[in-house]
Amino acid sequence: MTRLLDPDTLAPAHPRLGEALRYWLRLGCISFGGPAGQIALMHEELVRRRRWISERRFLHALNYCMVLPGPEAQQLATYIGWLLHGTAGGIAAGALFVLPSLVLLIGLSWVYMAFGQLDWVAGLFYGVKPAVTALVAQAAWRIGQRTLRNAWLWALAGAAFLGLAVLHLPFPALVAAAAAAGWALGRWRPALVRTGAGHGSAKDELHRPTVIDDHSPLPERARFRWPRLARQAAVALLLWALPFGLLWAWQGATGPYTQMAWFFTKAALLTFGGAYAVLPYVTQAAVHQFRWLGPGQVMDGLALGESTPGPLIMVVTFIAFVGGWQSEALQAGWAAVVGREWAALAAGTVAALLVTWFTFLPSFVFILTGAPVVEATHQDLRITGPLTAITAAVVGVILNLALFFALHVIWPRGLDGGMDALALLLTAAAGLALIRFKRGVLEVVGVCALLGMFWRLLGA
């Protein structure tokens, strides 16, 4: 009698590159729910269903992505794509994770700028702003619950809040101060900054073989080599310096595109703790320093970012589009090329593409140059004391952003201009729905948007 083989005892066939590309594109189209939801989607599909990578290797990759600046879910996709199909697979996975969101946000940004003055469109965004304020407050609540485990970490969060709200300190200075405090605590009181597992358990289940298993040897192309690292670093520098140098030659150091490229390169290196952590820094510069757009427009962009697939840091695409669209200098330059009726669209689209490039380039570099080192060591990467302290400070930073948004939503004409009672009611209701009743982001944003539209159409 022939014994049938259980498919769970055999490793699946190694996926072809085309099959992987179809999956990464599909993931980019359905990756709602922020980094936690995106990571959960990848875990369910890649670890449990397709068995392309084992649980331990998945968590090993995730641990590395967690200590990097940048969108961790996109970096995880890049890492796994690299494991499966080398450099080409990593670049394709990371790019396809972002591409649907990029196309969608450019289209929505155009609709926002071209038709935003219509009553029903203006009403939608009027209702969205209170929901965004509640979303930011929820982010502070969620991260605070996970991070602020003792009085020292609470003190760091409070100091960061006061540093921004009262002393108006720059975000990089707060990050550096928090890192120094975390280093000191880790040296003298390590128990205060010791972290546990934050992304799931590695408990062994009945082991099912995977394409990339716990003990699968690395192919030769994925092994760490100093010459390869030097070549990758040189290519990465060229990919940054060539477009930046062309922008400098075209517009000079103070040109709008040059300023955007330089600023968002710096911002990309400061995104520890996710998009909400760096958004105050981006908002402060975009609104007050460069005056690319107003605080209300930033909130509208955050709402679009929350409502579309892909990493939330894609909100920078919207910020850049609006900044380019509203720049008289850029419009004048593009008018001579494409005509005045298309100048604003061209200025905004090019700004969005440039900023997306400079924002995500570091993420690809970190993975493609660092992953061979990580795979060669096969040691668990833990969040260090400085990173724990930075995450604690991020809670205060996000809370300051929530306060900033609330002031502009509930008192749109300033504290002396009267309170918007409906905006206050919507903000409170959205916060209650998100934090107390655990309602979904799209549901809360959608309901608030519809209420705002009806309110505006009724002529209130």
* Domain locations along the chain: 101-194+224-460
In DSSP terms, 354 is beta-bridged to none
Listed in sequence order, the DSSP H helices in 339-457 are 340-377, 385-410, 421-431, 441-457
* Closest to 79 (Cα-Cα) out of 103, 99, 101, 53: 53
Residues in CB range of 417: below 8 A, 6 or more apart: 411
In DSSP terms, 150 is beta-bridged to none
Asked whether the beta carbons of 127 and 449 are under 8 A apart, the reply is yes
Task: Please state, as a whole number, how many other Cβ atoms lie within 10 Å of the Cβ of residue 154.
Answer: 16
Per-residue pLDDT of the chain in tens (460 residues, 90 and over written 9): 434 444 566 778 999 999 999 999 999 987 865 676 688 778 888 988 899 998 888 877 876 787 788 888 899 999 999 999 999 999 999 999 999 999 999 999 999 999 877 778 778 878 888 888 888 888 788 778 877 889 999 999 999 999 988 998 877 788 889 889 988 888 888 878 765 444 444 444 456 788 898 777 777 777 888 898 899 999 999 999 999 999 999 999 999 999 999 999 999 987 766 677 788 889 989 999 999 999 889 988 988 887 788 888 999 999 999 999 999 999 999 999 999 999 999 999 999 999 999 999 999 999 999 888 877 655 443 445 776 788 788 788 889 888 988 988 899 887 887 899 999 999 999 999 988 898 877 788 889 989 999 998 887 5
Rounded CA-CA distance 105/356 in Å is 11
Residues in CB range of 212: below 8 A, 6 or more apart: 52, 53, 54, 57, 83, 84
